[in-house]
Amino acid sequence: MSRRYEDFDEFCDPDNPKIIKYEDVVDALKRIRKYIPQTPIIASHYQKECGINLFYKLETVMRTGSFKERGALNALDLLPRDRQKMGVVVASLGNQAMGICYYGKKLGIPVTVVMPTSVPVIKLQMCSDMGAKVVVQGHNLVDSQKYARALAKEKGLTHINARDYPDVMAGYGTVAIEIMEQVPALDAVLLPIGTGGLAAGVATVIKHVNPNCLVYGVQSERLPTFYKSLEAGEPLTLPYEPSIAEGIAMPYVGVNAFRNAQNLLDKLILVSEDWIARSILHLIEKERLVVEGAGACPLAAVLCSQVPELKSKNVVIILSGGNIDAVLLGRCLDRGLAAEGRLIKFKVLVKDLGTEYERFTKLLADNGYNLVRQFQDRIWVENEIYRVEMKAVCETRGLDHALELKRIIEKTYPNECAFETEPFDSDNTCSCYIPTKC
């Protein structure tokens, strides 16, 4: 359904979207350079396996852990002095708020942050520690934004729509200028896309400097808002769905971001939650990088072989942020291991005897499996009073080793075992969409 805009501010007017220019981004880079040094680009250790000259742009090394600092600083610095003194209010899930709080403190600008109840406590605390007034209001970001706009009008503050403000998008575009300086023979850039601010800023720069360079957006298939909006030709709102890539799990797109990126993106790729989890796992294990779900999305498109046309090309992936909650990180790693067949869950009926338990565990140990977790059920075992249902999670060396475990258990306990089917049934693919307007 179409999105409701009647309560949006003048800088995010669907009937008059703001267009950013290359010159706006150049000016933004001059403005922020005194505070934000150029972030590094490193070569991936996965280049040989994927056949792509793959590089990572490490926005994770920012002081607050994401590229959002660029837009926050540019928007704050451009405010008239009287507006700076009055202060600003912003609704955020965390990354943008932390950027505005950090530079608001440096520039002496009072900041009020409105966050939904779903935001992790650590992000609330970080904003508070940086001197901001934190207000928890709303079940989701949309609710928080409505409250922030009302608060701005009531208190005379400047409301900054952190995901669609023109000056914010111009700040985001500065990452593209750096990329083109660091990788002169650039063929493609892959970036995460949610409401579209980063895509708008980056695509504006890339297509101005080198129209032949490809710009691909990647998002979770769980909430493909930007693609659906491109398909419809207008910004849409979809029902919210939680995602590992929480930073880009947006039920709407920015009106300005949509208009700027609409005809500049070359491809939009949707990846599954399992591939995002595998990307987070890959970045930690193979690249030694901690990246949040949103930042890991572009690599997921590479891992699931959705960009074969980029073989032998010079490709930069923007690792947009590293602010992942410790609990969520643990869940993502476990899910990534399961998706790769390195964690396998199954159940088996055994006789309720110590010798049978020993036989079961010895069977696993002798074949190189590590028993991670187990649960014994003696009560809800139908018609089997002298047997126990063993529910187990085992660590394997990979999918082939997992398949071997399945064969061993089924041979040893015929008709008395059951495995989780996902790792064995998966076709290991994700979806690729090329919007007709791109």
Average pLDDT over every residue of 368-388: 85
State the pLDDT at residue 118. 80
Closest C-alpha to 314, from 188, 168, 434, 176: 188
% of residues, the chain, pLDDT over 90: 73
H-helix or E-strand spanning residue 422: helix 422-425
5 falls in which pLDDT band (50, 70, 90)?
A: very low
Tens of pLDDT, residues 358-374: 999 999 999 999 999 99
Tens of pLDDT, residues 15-56: 889 999 999 999 999 999 999 999 999 999 999 999 999 999
307 HSE (CA, 13 A, CB side) = 34
DSSP structure string for 8-27: --GGG-TTSPPPP-HHHHHH
State the pLDDT at residue 4. 44
State the pLDDT at residue 420. 78
State the pLDDT at residue 11. 75
- Which residues lie closer than 8 Å to 192 by C-beta, 6 or more apart? 198, 217, 218, 219, 245, 247, 248, 294, 295, 297, 298, 318, 320
Q: How far apart are CA 436 and CA 438, in angstroms?
A: 6
E strand residue ranges, 118-234: 133-136, 158-159, 188-192, 214-220
State the pLDDT at residue 430. 53
Q: What's the whole-model pTM score?
A: 0.89
- Which residues lie closer than 8 Å to 310 by C-beta, 6 or more apart? 52, 187, 188, 214, 302
Whether 426 has a pLDDT exceeding 80, the answer reads no
DSSP structure string for 66-124: BTHHHHHHHHHHHS-HHHHHH-EEEE-SSHHHHHHHHHHHHHT--EEEEE-TTS-HHHH
Q: How far apart are CA 415 and CA 238, in angstroms?
A: 45
Q: How far apart are CA 321 and CA 52, in angstroms?
A: 22
Q: How far apart are CA 15 and CA 13, in angstroms?
A: 5
State the pLDDT at residue 305. 93
Whether 2 has a pLDDT exceeding 50, the answer reads no
Closest C-alpha to 114, from 78, 160, 154, 164: 160
Distances (CA, A) of 275 to 4, 231, 252, 288, 340: 33, 24, 23, 18, 9
What DSSP designation does 353 have?
Answer: S
Q: How far apart are CA 180 and CA 210, in angstroms?
A: 9
Whether 436 has a pLDDT exceeding 80, the answer reads no
Tens of pLDDT, residues 312-358: 999 999 999 999 988 899 999 999 999 999 999 999 999 989 999 99
- Tokens, residue 299: 């690599």
Find out whether 136 and 124 touch, Cβ atoms under 8 Å.
yes
The pLDDT mean for the chain works out to 90
Find out whether 130 and 77 touch, Cβ atoms under 8 Å.
no
State the pLDDT at residue 125. 87
Q: How far apart are CA 67 and CA 318, in angstroms?
A: 9
437 falls in which pLDDT band (50, 70, 90)?
A: very low
Whether 399 has a pLDDT exceeding 60, the answer reads yes
State the pLDDT at residue 332. 94
Tens of pLDDT, residues 166-182: 999 999 999 999 999 99
H-helix or E-strand spanning residue 351: strand 343-351
State the pLDDT at residue 433. 53
- Tokens, residue 287: 């690249």
6 falls in which pLDDT band (50, 70, 90)?
A: very low
State the pLDDT at residue 377. 87
Of 435 and 170, more confident: 170
Average pLDDT over every residue of 205-221: 97
Q: How far apart are CA 396 and CA 368, in angstroms?
A: 8
